[in-house]
Chains A and B, each alone.
Chain A
């Protein structure tokens, strides 16, 4: 059993038992934190099985030439014509991440050192003052590099070696060897890794979107981390910190991982029809097919207990083992509070005015079930308030959206039934919005709906 498998580039991690594989070598993947099983095809096309406790995806973003016929950042200085000025263009079409900004500044300084009697122009839309970019910027200016800020409409390529630059009504033409900074794109092999590991990616096909609940290199799937370009171009600025964090976390967790939730979610293999809905829904990649039982299984150590799978399984095949039955209450006003946002905020407020509400803590807004909600709505004049998280702060990545969607479907149905759809309301909160929560609850109690 290995400690870490790196997918992409190896990171020096002494004292740990690690191995590095190429992204394209991964064929099959299963298991959970502490016991991932990977099937890999090595260079001589032989299949072998590997076992590891952790996985770190460390794949660089791909650099794409921004404009044809221009020079690149990685050029050899000898390629330059010593008799011509240099025009470095950053942020063309797309604002460059800090890592590219830094490289461009370094390159500009190098060029200026070499061709000191030539002008070096540096056209940019935005300086990213992260790391030591500000001191580089300072150094470059002292060396006499000319910095010119532009907006997209104000820069025009007129020739291979000529640009027209306009600012504050003044137009000037610059002539020289043009060098553009590259665009960073996700490595195409990431897509396959994302699919095989069943982890979330953002719309740009990098692993995971910004989520204030997650440490940057966490993927949402327990035991799998992503670093560098796999996370997106901005991750480079945090690379050292994130690498450190990841290795430290792995070291301190080794041999000591426990389930995140006390109650196991279990799939009834007689009811499961292998539709894969739970697999697609689970934000933590905790669901896998159990080939022996012809049903899905939920990996205990990887499950966060958000119950999204339970509310989405069309065959009602998933349940919580040993769940104590909620006793039915006759209260007409019910509030479902996500434990990560609303319930955390609720702990901080004076509950005096809310003693008469039926308040239930739920693991995630996505765990609400239509069936249960309509059961509650059967009581005339009953009203339900569902409090979930803001987008990007949902601990279960996509839970807020799914909860919102289910609520909208319910409201839609109520409209079709000629019943008041404002009997069910969904609001978003953060754990720090106790004052807003107080306001919401008071207003809602009074029967005003937003």
Chain B
């Protein structure tokens, strides 16, 4: 899922500025709810925090809240049409995709991000997530026994560790597991160490961002666009 973190509330206040009278905070009920950053609970708490702030600073601001299932589908954004129109500023607590999707539907509105979108990750325990994939466009997990050297090796090395790994930790930060140690351990466990000896040529980065923003078209739904 997409893991995100709420922006600091003082930053949100600065971002909102003084030039508005009404605000709609929109939560997203999927990824960022699970990562405890932008679900209904966070939307309601943030609304209360801002109300407290404005009330204690003698400012009269109307704040409304709503949480939709996903902000990355127009069908859900359209459910908010009237609410969005009625408010001066929209603060989206979705990932950056959600923010931009609201913008796409409401060109005349100021839409602000309430979260810092962080990465694609997995929950390790409550309140703790870790990056596992960067969406490189051509998955190589089969060659590395299920541990991604692109997302989890700080240097994205494909042919073994650098010289800096120590006691299982990455030299960039001892809190990061060395991906290559993990890969090695898995290889030993599966008795496939010799598979790692083959030289792995550089990855095809064209399918990643390096080829510009990507669009994916499922031919099944687009007969007319068949090559």
B residues less than 8 Å from A281 (CB atoms): 126
A-B contact pairs, 21 of them (CB 8 A): A271-B40, A273-B34, A313-B41, A314-B33, A314-B40, A314-B41, A315-B29, A315-B33, A315-B40, A316-B44, A370-B49, A374-B49, A375-B51, A377-B52, A377-B56, A378-B56, A379-B55, A416-B10, A417-B52, A418-B10, A419-B52
Q: Write the nearest CB–CB distance from A237 to chain B, whole angstroms.
A: 33
Q: Does A371 belong to the interface (CB within 8 Å)? A: yes
Q: How large is the interface on A (under 10, 10 to 19, 20 to 34, 35 or more residues)?
A: 20 to 34
Q: Does B42 belong to the interface (CB within 8 Å)? A: yes
Q: Chain A: which residue is nearest B8 at the CB level? A: A416
Q: Does A291 belong to the interface (CB within 8 Å)? A: no
Q: Chain B: which residue is nearest A409 at the CB level? A: B45
Q: Chain A: which residue is nearest B32 at the CB level? A: A314
Q: Main SS of chain B's interface residues?
A: helix
Q: Write the nearest CB–CB distance from A169 to chain B, whole angstroms.
A: 40
Is the beta-carbon distance between B30 and A371 smaller than 8 angstroms? no
Q: Contacts A280-B125, A314-B40, A416-B8 hold; do A371 and B33 have CB atoms under 8 A apart?
A: no
Q: Does B74 belong to the interface (CB within 8 Å)? A: no
A-B pairs with lowest CB-CB distance, top 10? A374-B48, A314-B39, A370-B45, A275-B34, A280-B126, A416-B10, A316-B40, A371-B45, A378-B55, A371-B44
Q: Write the nearest CB–CB distance from B68 to chain A, whole angstroms.
A: 12
For chain B, residues 19 to 58, give those with C-beta under 8 angstroms from any C-beta of chain A.
29-30, 33-34, 36, 39-42, 44-45, 47-49, 51-53, 55-56
B residues less than 8 Å from A375 (CB atoms): 48, 51-52
Q: Chain A: which residue is nearest B39 at the CB level? A: A314
In the assembled complex, the Cα of A380 lies from the Cα of B30 at a distance in Å of: 36
Q: Write the nearest CB–CB distance from B101 to chain A, whole angstroms.
A: 19
B residues less than 8 Å from A315 (CB atoms): 29, 33, 39-41, 67
In the assembled complex, the Cα of A277 lies from the Cα of B42 at a distance in Å of: 14
A residues less than 8 Å from B34 (CB atoms): 273, 275, 277, 314
Q: Chain A: which residue is nearest B51 at the CB level? A: A378
* Interface hub of A271, A374, A378, A418 (most chain B Cβ within 10 A): A374
In the assembled complex, the Cα of A313 lies from the Cα of B53 at a distance in Å of: 24
Residues of A within 8 A of B (CB): 271, 273, 275-277, 280-281, 312-316, 369-375, 377-380, 413, 416-419
Choose one: B9, B40, B51; the contact of A416 (CB below 8 Å).
B9
Is the beta-carbon distance between A419 and B45 smaller than 8 angstroms? no
Q: Does B13 belong to the interface (CB within 8 Å)? A: yes
Q: Chain A: which residue is nearest B54 at the CB level? A: A378
Choose one: B29, B41, B56, B126; the contact of A371 (CB below 8 Å).
B41
In the assembled complex, the Cα of A396 lies from the Cα of B182 at a distance in Å of: 37
A-B pair count, CB < 8 Å, reads 80
Is the beta-carbon distance between B52 and A374 smaller than 8 angstroms? yes
Is the beta-carbon distance between B56 and A314 smaller than 8 angstroms? no
Choose one: A277, A378, A418; the contact of B48 (CB below 8 Å).
A378
B residues less than 8 Å from A277 (CB atoms): 34, 36, 126
B residues less than 8 Å from A369 (CB atoms): 41, 45
Q: Write the nearest CB–CB distance from A370 to chain B, whole angstroms.
A: 4
For chain B, residues 59 to 95, give those with C-beta under 8 angstroms from any C-beta of chain A.
67
Instruction: For the A-B complex with A316-B44, A380-B56 known, give 5 more contacts whose Cβ atoms are closer than 8 Å.
Output: A369-B41, A374-B45, A413-B49, A417-B10, A417-B13
Q: Chain A: which residue is nearest B42 at the CB level? A: A314
In the assembled complex, the Cα of A356 lies from the Cα of B53 at a distance in Å of: 26
Is the beta-carbon distance between A374 and B126 smaller than 8 angstroms? no
In the assembled complex, the Cα of A315 lies from the Cα of B37 at a distance in Å of: 11
B residues less than 8 Å from A378 (CB atoms): 48, 51-52, 55-56
Q: Write the nearest CB–CB distance from A441 to chain B, whole angstroms.
A: 24
B residues less than 8 Å from A275 (CB atoms): 33-34
Q: Chain B: which residue is nearest A405 at the CB level? A: B127
In the assembled complex, the Cα of A380 lies from the Cα of B49 at a distance in Å of: 13
Is the beta-carbon distance between B48 and A371 smaller than 8 angstroms? yes
Q: Contacts A313-B41, A314-B33 hold; do A419 and B48 have CB atoms under 8 A apart?
A: no
Q: Write the nearest CB–CB distance from A185 to chain B, whole angstroms.
A: 22
In the assembled complex, the Cα of A29 lies from the Cα of B45 at a distance in Å of: 35
Q: Write the nearest CB–CB distance from B51 to chain A, whole angstroms.
A: 6
In the assembled complex, the Cα of A93 lies from the Cα of B125 at a distance in Å of: 32
Q: Chain A: which residue is nearest B12 at the CB level? A: A416
Q: Write the nearest CB–CB distance from A19 to chain B, whole angstroms.
A: 33
For chain B, residues 120 to 173, give those with C-beta under 8 angstroms from any C-beta of chain A.
123, 125-126
Is the beta-carbon distance between A417 and B9 smaller than 8 angstroms? yes
Q: Write the nearest CB–CB distance from A320 to chain B, whole angstroms.
A: 16
Choose one: B33, B45, B53, B123; the contact of A417 (CB below 8 Å).
B53
